[in-house]
Amino acid sequence: DVKVTQSSRYLVKRTGEKVFLECVQDMDHENMFWYRQDPGLGLRLIYFSYDVKMKEKGDIPEGYSVSREKKERFSLILESASTNQTSMYLCASSPLQGREQYFGPGTRLTVT
């Protein structure tokens, strides 16, 4: 079975802190994604990557950056956390372009 793991299930940070959310997949997938999920807004794509060191902006990249130094790991970085970044963050991976995505359990981030 494909396994996508995220470094934390729950995280509380203060405004202005730098936050790292880590995601690891164990199935040698080329593509990895970061989404955030908020009530009433569904899932929104922040960034995605289709290869090591490659990244593409999604629909809401402002305030975020990403890093993919190794194929299995995709990190989401909040350079200076703000309260409007309080959300559920979901990481996903997929083996081929256009194919189904496999999601991690999510990280619920609270910025106070």
Partner 1 sequence: LAKTTQPISMDSYEGQEVNITCSHNNIATNDYITWYQQFPSQGPRFIIQGYKTKVTNEVASLFIPADRKSSTLSLPRVSLSDTAVYYCLAQLNFGNEKLTFGTGTRLTIIP
Least CB distance to partner 1 at residue 15 (A): 25
The binder of partner 1 chosen from 25, 75, 93, 101 (CB under 8 A): 101
Q: Nearest-CA neighbor of 88 among 45, 38, 47, 42?
A: 38
59-78 burial, b for 16+ CB within 10 Å, e for fewer? eeeeebebbbeebbebbbeb
The binder of partner 1 chosen from 92, 93, 109, 111 (CB under 8 A): 92
Q: How many chain residues bind partner 1 (CB under 8 A)?
A: 27
Tell me the β-bridge partners of 3: none
Region from 14-22, 33-41, 66-74, 78-86 binding partner 1, contact rule CB under 8 A: 33-41
Pick between residue 51 and residue 79 the one whose CB is nearest to partner 1. Answer: 51
* C-beta separation of 56 from 45 below 8 A: no
Q: Does residue 27 touch partner 1 according to CB under 8 A?
A: no
**Separation of alpha carbons 50 and 40, rounded Å:** 28
Binding site for partner 1 (CB under 8 A): 4, 31, 33, 35, 40-45, 48, 50, 56, 58-59, 90, 92, 97-106
